[in-house]
Structure 1
């Protein structure tokens, strides 16, 4: 088993499990997080699958997680949270090396149990791997943070539906006129969460093809930013899904599953539109996500106006805070089918 973990690690797979097996360590740094954003918890708190070990359990790991107030002078000793439906600890030998026809079902149900979505095993069979990945991750984030609004969920899910059908040329032509720091943080959280979902998929024996979970199949930061601005400005679902009936149907099916799972776990998602006012965001003047020099960028879809109502919960940006320097996006596959 240890040798198999080494081989997976050398193929850039199973990084999380390798660290746990060999060093008994798990870590999570911060990335793009807004220090003025007090509603959203840090990424490390959202993505932790462990709980403090207060009882001296034999199986525990050292956790190095970066978040405000943690001096990182010594690790926290934590123990994994038990799975709810899997009977006993998962058998890695079976998950990794069994080849019989039933193993895929076991692998998939174990992965869903990791994200506490075991009861949706049958419902999720109607979707393909990238959509299942998004359902798992958005539901997990919504339950863990308890701070996602209905508009945030709509932005996550609408971009996940649209990105599947966008050509490379269409993605290159995307523009947005402002940068909302909260949207940047939510986008960063999703991509970080995706790395953990990929690690869990590897640990469960690859119930889903690794290539189906890559960001160019599930997430685009600029497209998400566009949908976020639309959703929070009150755009109807038809506009979010660009008037395509089949996209709208897929979106509504996925949305019902996510919201239903959140309600069952005592974390109902409420509508909380944050109508963006330009003094709370930064105009994109020079660098877009491809690092090109351009004049003021504009998006072709409806955007909030400068006269939008300043709602409670939106804080003016700190006068000494600068703009985000937008980094290159994930490379887009040239296959546009």
Structure 2
């Protein structure tokens, strides 16, 4: 994120560039300076997710009820201070930043491997230094904040640009996030989320004016500094030769034991030395390697110039703040009315996945906590591939006579064999529904009496549910979603067993009767790596289901299928351990015995659907390395009873 080492440089080398402030005090001053204007902080939501996830437990798949409480506490603290919050989420990964995105995904893949090695060795959750944020959290958080009454937007371009633009255009109190790019944009003050003390609303504020004073630069020079230090658009490795030359030239003037500090100061000095030249940018290009693409430098500079701003390092004619409108005209899908509807919903944060696919023909997904060494469970990208292909069929049609002539999507998804050298080209696959795959126009705009049934049946078809649609339609949305995903997993993962079904179902039914506080204090004897893998596989399925729900015209209420209504990591883990150790339904549903008939009903629906599709679910207990005393006792009794029968039978013969 942003410029490597810049925030550390600011904090350690020029401390006058940042200082602790009280946000409530600043808000009160803002009210005085701008009567009638509510002090507003625009929040870079993606940069805050790690800070917001305060539950101690994360390895099991996420403690979502606890997380919801954490978000409420965050909102309450600012509301009490009279500060309005506006949350902006990343809505797109721009192709100019794809290389950096790929590097991060491959790096995260290595970290995930270390996490699973730790789990298998220690049978416990790693400490916070290995923390990996739960899958789908950005999507889930967006809907959580909307449900909590907050203003939420998804960006049309990179979120940091829209955050900076929004802050400037709406005279905001500042930006809350953790990205050094906010020191580069010429916008409102930048506050650190990582340094925020929620109880007092005290945090670190950065001053780009003081940074410029320290580096002998103007604010309009900061974008060039960012580009020459390396950022998400211009990889640092392309600039190493240039940076070495700068360091050598200014070593006597700026000697510092920290190499990165020396580089930053030397590059800043170089910029300062050419700033007054009418051909300064040409001098920059002359210093860069001959193979360096000057267009990359131009794109990097443009990425920091906000609407109605200019840059002395760019010809005015090059600035084009209407680029997004032009991209809209070049959208993959030619149905402009549908595109606009989807785009509007996307901006409001109402849909999942479909906007970027419909708009650019691209789908991507960040890392999932899954065990690449467990070959019995395919990667989530492969498990849910067919479901995504069905979604693409809804969005684009399936070829001849379709509403769009481009039924292939470029997918950037992580799975064991994929090094992300290029996107996978994934074709749309028609759905098995009477009358063929419905069009997106019909699903979104048709107001007929039977449209809701068509939407539901289409959603079920995306997940291979063919025979039990009516039974699922009679259930609460949260339970119907759970059964839908379990049917799909049973059909796609050969090792998905009866014990896995029992664990997911018992957990889903018991979840509604558990408070966040009860779940927080739930104790687990061990952490099982396969249970972790299944938990995150399920969560990715939930996100895919939300994408299908968006494409099908929302037959499910999105809020009903979010994880605090459908999933809890620790509760699932508990049920998984019990189920694989042979616990009875009564033990799985302990303290919730009245729900046993519901458990049997849901299990029967799943069994019937799988049987109709010739998938036989089998028992496959797995040793988890722990047996509760009650289960040990019961298993001993069962073994003894069998032995006695065998002995008796032998004697009679």
TM-score category, normalised to shorter length: 0.7 to 0.9
- Equivalent residue runs for 1:181-192 within 5 Å: 181-192=529-540
Deviation track 1:16-41 (CA, whole Å, cap 9, x = no partner) reads 21121111112234311123322111
- Is 1:265 aligned to residue 613 of structure 2? yes
Deviation track 1:63-82 (CA, whole Å, cap 9, x = no partner) reads 22211112221222121221
Three-state SS of the structure 1 residue aligned to 2:467 is helix
Gaps of at least 5 residues in structure 2 are: 1-337, 391-398, 637-653
Deviation at 1:193, TM superposition (A): 0.8
Match of 2:384 among 47, 70, 75: 47
- Is 1:169 aligned to residue 517 of structure 2? yes
Deviation track 1:256-289 (CA, whole Å, cap 9, x = no partner) reads 11122222223221101012226xxxxxxxxxxx
- Is 1:16 aligned to residue 364 of structure 2? no
Distance 2:448 2:629 in 1: 50
- Equivalent residue runs for 1:255-334 within 5 Å: 255-277=603-625
- Is 1:196 aligned to residue 533 of structure 2? no
Deviation at 1:88, TM superposition (A): 2.9
Distance 2:539 2:628 in 1: 25
Deviation at 1:100, TM superposition (A): 4.1
Three-state SS of the structure 1 residue aligned to 2:353 is helix
Q: Which has the higher contact order (CA 8 A, sep 6+)?
A: 1
Residue of structure 2 in register with 1:324 after alignment: none
- Equivalent residue runs for 1:207-218 within 5 Å: 207-218=555-566
Residue of structure 2 in register with 1:160 after alignment: 508
Distance 1:125 1:4 in 2: 27
Residue of structure 2 in register with 1:123 after alignment: 471
Q: Is the 1:30–1:44 Cα contact (8 Å) retained in structure 2? A: no
Q: Is the 1:230–1:302 Cα contact (8 Å) retained in structure 2? A: no
- Equivalent residue runs for 1:61-76 within 5 Å: 61-76=409-424
Deviation at 1:244, TM superposition (A): 3.2
- Is 1:36 aligned to residue 384 of structure 2? no
Q: Is the 1:229–1:303 Cα contact (8 Å) retained in structure 2? A: no
Residue of structure 2 in register with 1:330 after alignment: none
Q: What's the TM-score, normalizing by structure 1?
A: 0.78
- Is 1:240 aligned to residue 588 of structure 2? yes
Distance 2:609 2:371 in 1: 28
Deviation at 1:173, TM superposition (A): 2.5
Distance 2:450 2:352 in 1: 26
Q: What's the TM-score, normalizing by structure 2?
A: 0.41
Residue of structure 1 in register with 2:9 after alignment: none
Q: Is the 2:510–2:592 Cα contact (8 Å) retained in structure 1? A: no
Deviation track 1:177-230 (CA, whole Å, cap 9, x = no partner) reads 110011011001111110110111111111111110110111101000000000
Deviation at 1:2, TM superposition (A): 0.5
Q: Is the 1:43–1:189 Cα contact (8 Å) retained in structure 2? A: yes
- The structure with the greater share of residues assigned to helix is 2
Q: Is the 1:30–1:43 Cα contact (8 Å) retained in structure 2? A: no
Distance 2:477 2:625 in 1: 37
Q: Is the 2:369–2:536 Cα contact (8 Å) retained in structure 1? A: yes
Count of residue correspondences: 283
Distance 2:488 2:533 in 1: 16
Residue of structure 2 in register with 1:93 after alignment: 441
Match of 1:252 among 589, 592, 600: 600
Distance 1:41 1:237 in 2: 28
Distance 2:630 2:350 in 1: 41
Gaps of at least 5 residues in structure 1 are: 279-298, 309-337
Deviation track 1:101-149 (CA, whole Å, cap 9, x = no partner) reads 4321121111111112143222123311000000101111111111111
- 1:264–1:35 CA distance, 2 compared to 1 (3 A): same
Distance 1:301 1:140 in 2: 34
Distance 1:301 1:116 in 2: 40
Worse-superposed segment, 210-219 or 160-169? 160-169
Deviation at 1:300, TM superposition (A): 8.8
